[in-house]
Structure 1
């Protein structure tokens, strides 16, 4: 059905060089920063009222000479930005210009977008925000560039924005009249065979790890860690998501029940705080800042420049299960939902399984699951009872298994751009002639590139809802929700059934504790194709967006009836979330606010519904009284 296009899952690096990098490629930052910049505790900041930020045209806006000085300080990497849609707005639907047509074609290539300082992967959210370029951008290549941008923004009271992968649904990667710190150039990756966080010698055992620049995308990380080095790093399912943004937001991958949250794999981070200091945060140094960076949301506590993540052993194979079931009546679909919940409870809540089961309004169930730690034969045996139950009711269910309903692939090649994956349509490549071979993305994620969101909701579903005395009510709620809008159950975005080690590691992050015993994250979303206000023939369909947003609201209202509380995932959530502090972080929010006050007392870092954002106007320019 045309109105049921679902938003796909995502939907972000001293004067003293660290001995820990040892044989890895050197990070050429030390000589550029004074020793004082590497202090280990925040400088005391005098208490002061938050001050309004300035815009172009204001008396306090930096002079051209000041901007030139910043440009010199960052080695010429300061850019004045302009919207690439400006020329399109001057054209008309009857006489579009060729460059405009080419732009909209290119917007379906996520790598084209990520290489453009003035663009974001999502072009906006209807009736909420529109992707708009900053006034200037520092195209950071080293930590010293980030320090210079932070100091300049603080001194001149500028709205500061940080962009890595640029996938933010909330629009946090862009803001007009701001200074952008564009991290795309900081994407170095270095493997370590025996990493010990700084200051932790004798307290933390060495382990295999990888250091990744904050501008890297997950496709590059997987290529370096899995394809090249034969290890596994917990990252995002979507390969064009930024590494830093995903980790700072918590971070789920396809195999989260086995390997845990991406944020729980964080061993150390290099971060520039609001005072312009470069800090090394881990469990031994800056522990509260380190905790806040593990799921507290990107861009609120500082600018992460490098992350070091645990590398796990890579299994021999990964696998996938894909098929669809069409129920022949509404009553049969309700029964199908019940059978699915029974099967989830009996067979899928363990470390082997991840990804999605989708429930659609046309009475279709779509299974798109992945697995690890099982052979193909073992995976087939797990699903056999479900298949037999469906086969026993041919009058109610029509099943399409296809030719590749259960497959396995070598884990080392899972993210590699092999010929087979391209030919079968699983994977696509950056179509630009000079693009690296590693610029790849899953075909199912293509709709995210250049999308305009119409509506979005998420909610963690507690495993208690699968107990015998509550399962029927959950089934009723899911069925009622699908009368309004499709529901996707992301079984990898809940840790019920994970090992005690994985759950304990997640508990030591800033994530909402609701994730610890959730069996799935329910996601309801809608998007339109690339569009931009004022471009003739390419404007967002606002009427359709309002209609779909209302249906999503109605569907989520049905699910809320069985939830003890509404807990949502910050990276995949409603822009208009009213109770966002509680929904995103629960009991952890008070601690996050304390970290914010310690490291950013004047509120330099602002993001929509980020920690401390309640102190500011919606655009982040004016303090609230």
Structure 2
């Protein structure tokens, strides 16, 4: 598939009929309302006095973000400091001009907004939304800033920056507003939109002794993950983050602060559960159910190399049969990776088991590998377990396993702010390609496993990829599957045994950084190889859906891939709560009615 060569045709021709049909179906207020957004220098751009009025409305918290790399040619101190901190995602996130991803080849580059409201309350957010609506501005929302699709920033826009809204509150018995007598009280946690998952885990697990289903990367924003569906290490047992949403506070396009749940504005509430961030409103607070902690969380790590193509196929076949027999259940998550046509990587986690039980589960596979003379462990299988309450406890790891978690090393940083060492490579990275697809559990059946193995081996000859078992709920707990069924996420996730992900990226490449910049020729070569690998895997499931947060920027039929049969319902909610199309993100609900940059109506 020559995606890059056909990019213009792919973006224009296939989407034109859909855009026309969508525009024809829009209610009068949307089709005849906002036609274009205003850029700086154009007639209608707010005058300085108008910006001053917004500044007063938000308590002086109106900023004009400037990239620290803008003055790198002059050898600025800001540039030097920013370069020094590029391995620290907490520092990157604390700068309103930066995003955790620096760009995507032939797609977008991280550029700061013209203005930003450093919101500290829902009232600040409402003021920004009102201002953007009245002045026809491009509005952007950023909490964690991890969007691979570039939805966390946009030049010439007004940014709602929620980073300072990071309060976390525990509840012993929570009942959503308006649901008294209709919903049983339950333990929960309320998290403001700017909080990261490490903030939630510290409060709920490390100090509170309970569990909240969140993301694996600790610096990801809570609000963004929930709105995209949200997978974590143990989703097969606890469900998606969206499935555990009990209530949300959200500012809609009319500037109204709403508290929504299953009893109040239920369609908007449902849309926030996996409908994608930034399309239906600006979430300011989320309340999620919490769970009793199992005694232990643990992990299994190792790497196996085969000596020949025949040995590699045998290894992959054994790995899939072993996974089906021993690991395809609510206890296991994370991934197996397939690299270089001869290497199998193991990086998995477990819950609800002891270390001894986990070792027993893996024993037959380890024995099989050791009995062969044509493949071997190049990294011995290690199985570790820690008390579950310490799984995100930075102080615990500093004492017992230094280096596993990396702390925010800036003076005055909260002591719990740390990330997994393996996630550092994502900080500021420049994406060459990134694709995902859900693989149905039917492929694990005896009559289908051979097809699965053939495709895995064939794909690995083109480019590496991984099966993320926790990002498919097949084989998981029944209650987790049922809760996730009542979300906007593509229903394919319910029966998928894994989400396959293949991608490539390079060093940070923020505009203005010193150095040669991204190697676009290399990026395009890598993207073509990712295409070929994913083509081999999609042959197993031609209609496979894709996860909103981890998907191809150039995906053509994104409405069907992201949401399947749920998209029409999401679009109805969009039309009801945002009839003028104030909220826009790339490949977000209703975005087919706009130009690629979100500034002009497509028709």
Same fold by TM-score greater than 0.5: yes
Deviation at 1:144, TM superposition (A): 0.4
Residue pair 2:212, 2:290 contacting (<8 A) in 1 also = yes
Distance 1:101 1:252, change over 3 A: same
2:391 maps to what in 1?
414
3-state DSSP class of the match of 1:503? helix
1:258 maps to what in 2?
237
2:585 maps to what in 1?
607
1:506 maps to what in 2?
484
2:39 maps to what in 1?
55
1:590 maps to what in 2?
568
Aligned with residue 111 of structure 1, among 90, 96, 121:
90
Question: Which shows bigger deviation, 570-579 or 382-391?
Answer: 382-391
- TM-score, with structure 2 as normaliser: 0.93
Structure 2 residues without counterparts, runs of 5 or longer: 1-27
Residue pair 2:359, 2:383 contacting (<8 A) in 1 also = yes
* CA distance, structure 2, for counterparts of residue 243 and residue 45 of structure 1: 33
The equivalences for 1:132-151 within 5 A come to 132-151=111-130
Aligned with residue 308 of structure 1, among 262, 287, 296:
287
1:368 maps to what in 2?
347
* CA distance, structure 2, for counterparts of residue 542 and residue 101 of structure 1: 25
CA displacement 1:427-475 (0-9 Å, x = unmatched): 1001112211111000010011111011001000100011111111111
Whether 1:248 and 2:232 are equivalent positions in the alignment is no
2:276 maps to what in 1?
297
Whether 1:478 and 2:456 are equivalent positions in the alignment is yes
3-state DSSP class of the match of 2:470? coil
Question: Which shows bigger deviation, 473-482 or 286-295?
Answer: 473-482
Whether 1:157 and 2:144 are equivalent positions in the alignment is no
Distance 1:520 1:605, change over 3 A: same
3-state DSSP class of the match of 1:405? strand
2:521 maps to what in 1?
543
3-state DSSP class of the match of 1:181? strand
* CA distance, structure 2, for counterparts of residue 612 and residue 591 of structure 1: 11
* CA distance, structure 2, for counterparts of residue 434 and residue 472 of structure 1: 55
CA displacement 1:371-425 (0-9 Å, x = unmatched): 01111111111111111211221x11111454x7011101111101135457442
2:497 maps to what in 1?
519
Residue pair 2:300, 2:383 contacting (<8 A) in 1 also = yes
CA displacement 1:98-147 (0-9 Å, x = unmatched): 64343222111000011000000001011110000000000000110000
3-state DSSP class of the match of 1:592? helix
* CA distance, structure 2, for counterparts of residue 536 and residue 146 of structure 1: 35
Aligned with residue 69 of structure 1, among 15, 40, 53:
53
3-state DSSP class of the match of 1:267? strand
* CA distance, structure 1, for counterparts of residue 33 and residue 193 of structure 2: 31
* CA distance, structure 2, for counterparts of residue 538 and residue 238 of structure 1: 30
* CA distance, structure 2, for counterparts of residue 342 and residue 256 of structure 1: 22
Deviation at 1:351, TM superposition (A): 0.7
* CA distance, structure 2, for counterparts of residue 138 and residue 100 of structure 1: 23
1:495 maps to what in 2?
473
2:4 maps to what in 1?
none
2:9 maps to what in 1?
none
Residue pair 1:104, 1:530 contacting (<8 A) in 2 also = no
CA displacement 1:233-266 (0-9 Å, x = unmatched): 0000000000000000000000001100000000
Whether 1:358 and 2:337 are equivalent positions in the alignment is yes
* CA distance, structure 1, for counterparts of residue 513 and residue 487 of structure 2: 43
1:38 maps to what in 2?
none
3-state DSSP class of the match of 2:183? coil
* CA distance, structure 2, for counterparts of residue 316 and residue 215 of structure 1: 30
CA displacement 1:42-74 (0-9 Å, x = unmatched): xx9687333200000011000000000000000
3-state DSSP class of the match of 1:522? strand
* CA distance, structure 2, for counterparts of residue 71 and residue 538 of structure 1: 39
- How many residues end up aligned between the 2 structures? 575
1:566 maps to what in 2?
544
* CA distance, structure 1, for counterparts of residue 402 and residue 414 of structure 2: 21
2:247 maps to what in 1?
268
3-state DSSP class of the match of 1:418? helix
Residue pair 2:69, 2:79 contacting (<8 A) in 1 also = yes
* CA distance, structure 2, for counterparts of residue 99 and residue 81 of structure 1: 13
Aligned with residue 310 of structure 2, among 331, 349, 353:
331
2:69 maps to what in 1?
85
- TM-score, with structure 1 as normaliser: 0.90
Distance 1:429 1:473, change over 3 A: same
Deviation at 1:538, TM superposition (A): 4.5
The equivalences for 1:280-291 within 5 A come to 280-291=259-270
CA displacement 1:512-554 (0-9 Å, x = unmatched): 0110000000000111111234544151121111111111011
3-state DSSP class of the match of 2:102? strand
3-state DSSP class of the match of 1:201? coil
Deviation at 1:566, TM superposition (A): 2.4
2:376 maps to what in 1?
398
Question: Which shows bigger deviation, 504-513 or 328-337?
Answer: 328-337
Residue pair 1:531, 1:538 contacting (<8 A) in 2 also = no
Residue pair 1:268, 1:280 contacting (<8 A) in 2 also = yes
* CA distance, structure 1, for counterparts of residue 341 and residue 326 of structure 2: 26
* CA distance, structure 2, for counterparts of residue 508 and residue 532 of structure 1: 39
* CA distance, structure 1, for counterparts of residue 433 and residue 542 of structure 2: 23
1:581 maps to what in 2?
559
1:18 maps to what in 2?
none
* CA distance, structure 2, for counterparts of residue 447 and residue 418 of structure 1: 22
* CA distance, structure 1, for counterparts of residue 85 and residue 183 of structure 2: 47
Whether 1:436 and 2:410 are equivalent positions in the alignment is no
* CA distance, structure 2, for counterparts of residue 532 and residue 260 of structure 1: 36
Structure 1 residues without counterparts, runs of 5 or longer: 1-43
The equivalences for 1:90-239 within 5 A come to 90-91=73-74, 99-239=78-218
* CA distance, structure 2, for counterparts of residue 451 and residue 420 of structure 1: 26
1:7 maps to what in 2?
none
